[in-house]
Structure 1
Amino acid sequence: MLENFEGSIVCGKASSNSKLYVTIDLDVATVGQTRLLERIRTNPQWQEYRKSLYACCGTPTGRRVNRWLQVMDKNHKPLHRHTKIHVKVQFFDAKKRHNWSKGIESPTFPGVPYTFFAQRSGCKVSLYQDAHLPEEFVPKITLAEGQQYEPHRCWEDIYDAISIAKHLIYITGWSVYTKITLLRDLRRQKPGGDIILGELLNKKADEGVRVLMLVWDDRTSVKLLKNDGVMATHDEDTESYFKNSKVHCVLCPCNTDHEENIVPDIVISTLFTHQQKTVVVDGEYPNAELGKRRIVSFIGVLIFAMVDMIHHVIPFSGLWGQYTTMIFISLILQ
């Protein structure tokens, strides 16, 4: 970017602690944004590199665009002092890539780039359609070799995974209500299965397991409105429950990148939510030597809340109660 951008920022020169970034917009939608650069007054350079397929074009072209572009305001008029930005872009036909549509089947595919953990072999994926399925909820399905299909039961598996964890339990959630129980079906109870989630996590933390929780900070959870929040997330109750315990519970709002814009920040942190819903624990390694552990992750629409998302209740042996029904598919990655 040219050096005379200072006069084009707000109404005066950029301060010493200015944060600069560039966005890529299609009409009013932001499809890309660079990282923030701090305390750089002249000639900022981001050198960002990203690859994304946003749309298809009738006439594909691989011609490189390498030029200076005039920076315009929202009315498409050049900014004061003719600020410009240098752009170098080239589109490549995705079908010409050696691993296109082959995925993990290709021995040359190293996995999704720029991820924290590298791709590994030998993993297992289990699908869930609900938090729990009663015995009579699905028809009997005969599989190969005459075996009957046994559906996975998400909350039962989560209870078992948390119970046998020895090193770590990491939970992120839109809502984590401490007073729910994971085992509700009286016909499938286990010893100690009536324990509430909060007590179970405290029990594991007292055993020496590292229990970390990152819960959405619902800004509507105030006494003036409802202490449990407009959507009954109970985030303040959850934080208070684990106070002075060995469980580390942190409430995290959904904030913007623009710290100086107070009004948008308040609106976004109130109306927009954290939608990460994961449970990560260490689990037993099957068919391996004693003591070896592996990571087990539950990913998807996991809401440990006192809600019924489709406004109905499921009877368990005559017991009617609130039950969280997951509408979307959840995964367990091992």
Structure 2
Amino acid sequence: MEKYLSNSSKRASSLKVLLLHGRLDIWIYEARNLPDMDALSKNFVGMFRTKVSTRIADKMDGFMHSQNSTTDAYVSVSVSNAVVARTSVIPDNENPVWNQHSRVPIAHHAAEVQFLVKDSDVIGSELIGTVSIPVEQFYSGVKLEGSFPILDPKNKPCRDGATLKLSIQYIPIVRLASYSLGIAGLENRGIPGTYFPLRKGGKVTLYQDAHVPDDCLPALLRLEGDAHSQHGKCWRDIFEAIMRARRFIYITGWSVYHMVRLVREQGFYSDTLGDLLKKRSQEGVRVLLLVWDDFTSRTILGFPK
């Protein structure tokens, strides 16, 4: 275990960018002496009382904050501007305790891992301060643990004595047995930490593009044995699978655009994807969609969570 060495001059210069390929084991324990982020709005309501009736000001105060309210803190973990982990929100507490553990599969080039301490508001959130850990300080695999000062955007303490207690350890992929044995390793359990168990009998079809016109690609490639590659047409195959479905249609993807027309060739234009799915649903086919909607990747009115 090593101690974190804070060095403002080093942070001002460029840090070494390293490839993190494996897993991060992150513990976020607690924060101490956070500033009261609700004080500003309390002062605003106090000044507002002099301009409007007490009844209106009381309603505003009750909506925005209770008399005993203070910081509603949580921590998000960012690597190369991607949020990879997040704690729960501890309401009305300037000394929150989380004791939360995250195992994060990672494949990022990064110079540091940032722990962003935030105050959760009715709309969005407000940054309290950041703890930045240079990757080169834990790249060897040593467990880095301690209480670190929480710094504001000007690299100054957000409040005297404000600290975040955490630990972080990097485990490269070559040391992860579950990956070195493949997804069928470790008693056929598949990839650890996923929602669904490993199943047999599945089929995956690979495509060059969403749509490939005839004769635009090289001749078929010979694969292992007597098999040959096939230049399939992804969107047409999806269209035909939807039309042939008798019991269910399951669709999962990064983005599902309901207005797309899957077939647009030789004078034939299919209905939009949304209309196709509604039609099949009305015919008794079960239609389910799972699209990307991860909580840490969303914003509310432009405010990051």
* TM-score, normalised via structure 1 length: 0.51
Q: Which has the higher contact order (CA 8 A, sep 6+)?
A: 2
1:72 Cα deviation after fit: 1.5
1:23 Cα deviation after fit: 3.1
Q: Which residue of 1 aligns with 2:243?
A: 163
Instruction: Give, as a single letter, the amino acid of the residue that structure 2 aligns with 1:164.
Output: R
Specify every segment of 5 or more residues in structure 1 that has no aligned partner in the other structure, as ranges: 217-253, 269-334
Instruction: Give, as a single letter, the amino acid of the residue that structure 1 aligns with 2:173.
Output: A
Specify every segment of 5 or more residues in structure 2 that has no aligned partner in the other structure, as ranges: 1-29, 43-64, 110-134
Q: Secondary structure of 1:201's partner?
A: helix
1:125 aligned to 200, 204, 213, which one? Answer: 204
Q: Which residue of 1 aligns with 2:54?
A: none
Q: Which residue of 1 aligns with 2:53?
A: none
Distance 1:77 1:12, change over 3 A: farther
User: Could you tell which deviates more after superposition, 207-216 or 126-135?
Assistant: 207-216
Instruction: Give, as a single letter, the amino acid of the residue that structure 1 aligns with 2:234.
Output: C
Q: Which residue of 1 aligns with 2:86?
A: 34
Q: Deviations over 1:140-161 (max 9, x none)?
A: 3363677764321112210121
1:201 Cα deviation after fit: 2.5
More helix by share: 2
Q: Which residue of 2 aligns with 1:20?
A: 73
Q: Which residue of 2 aligns with 1:177?
A: 259
Q: Deviations over 1:23-68 (max 9, x none)?
A: 3456x83554423315252433151312344458599534332321
Q: Which residue of 1 aligns with 2:279?
A: 203
Instruction: Give, as a single letter, the amino acid of the residue that structure 1 aligns with 2:87.
Output: R
2:101 aligned to 42, 45, 48, which one? Answer: 48
1:77 Cα deviation after fit: 1.6
Distance 1:73 1:177, change over 3 A: same
Distance 1:143 1:34, change over 3 A: closer
User: In 2, Cα distance between the equivalents of 1:194 and 1:29?
Assistant: 40
How many matched pairs?
217
Is the CA contact 2:34–2:162 (under 8 Å) kept in the aligned structure 1? yes
User: In 1, Cα distance between the equivalents of 2:173 and 2:218?
Assistant: 42
User: Could you tell which deviates more after superposition, 143-152 or 62-71?
Assistant: 143-152
* TM-score, normalised via structure 2 length: 0.55
Q: Which residue of 2 aligns with 1:243?
A: none
2:169 aligned to 90, 113, 121, which one? Answer: 90
Q: Secondary structure of 2:104's partner?
A: coil
1:121 Cα deviation after fit: 2.6
User: In 2, Cα distance between the equivalents of 1:115 and 1:80?
Assistant: 40
Distance 1:10 1:63, change over 3 A: farther
1:80 aligned to 143, 159, 171, which one? Answer: 159
Is the CA contact 1:62–1:91 (under 8 Å) kept in the aligned structure 2? yes
User: In 2, Cα distance between the equivalents of 1:89 and 1:49?
Assistant: 10
Q: Secondary structure of 1:157's partner?
A: helix
Sequence identity (%): 25
Is the CA contact 1:168–1:209 (under 8 Å) kept in the aligned structure 2? yes
Instruction: Give, as a single letter, the amino acid of the residue that structure 2 aligns with 1:23.
Output: S
Q: Secondary structure of 2:164's partner?
A: strand
Distance 1:129 1:113, change over 3 A: same
1:117 Cα deviation after fit: 1.8
Instruction: Give, as a single letter, the amino acid of the residue that structure 2 aligns with 1:160.
Output: E
Instruction: Give, as a single letter, the amino acid of the residue that structure 1 aligns with 2:91.
Output: R
Q: Which residue of 2 aligns with 1:297?
A: none
1:101 Cα deviation after fit: 3.6
Is the CA contact 2:73–2:89 (under 8 Å) kept in the aligned structure 1? yes
Is the CA contact 1:65–1:90 (under 8 Å) kept in the aligned structure 2? yes
Instruction: Give, as a single letter, the amino acid of the residue that structure 2 aligns with 1:202.
Output: K
1:125-274 to structure 2, matched below 5 A, reads 125-141=204-220, 143=222, 149-165=229-245, 166-170=247-251, 173=255, 175-177=257-259, 180=261, 182=263, 184-185=265-266, 197-211=273-287, 255-256=298-299, 259=300, 262=301, 264-265=302-303
Is the CA contact 1:140–1:149 (under 8 Å) kept in the aligned structure 2? no
1:116 Cα deviation after fit: 1.9
Is the CA contact 1:68–1:84 (under 8 Å) kept in the aligned structure 2? yes
Q: Secondary structure of 1:205's partner?
A: helix
User: In 1, Cα distance between the equivalents of 2:228 and 2:169?
Assistant: 53
Is the CA contact 1:5–1:83 (under 8 Å) kept in the aligned structure 2? yes
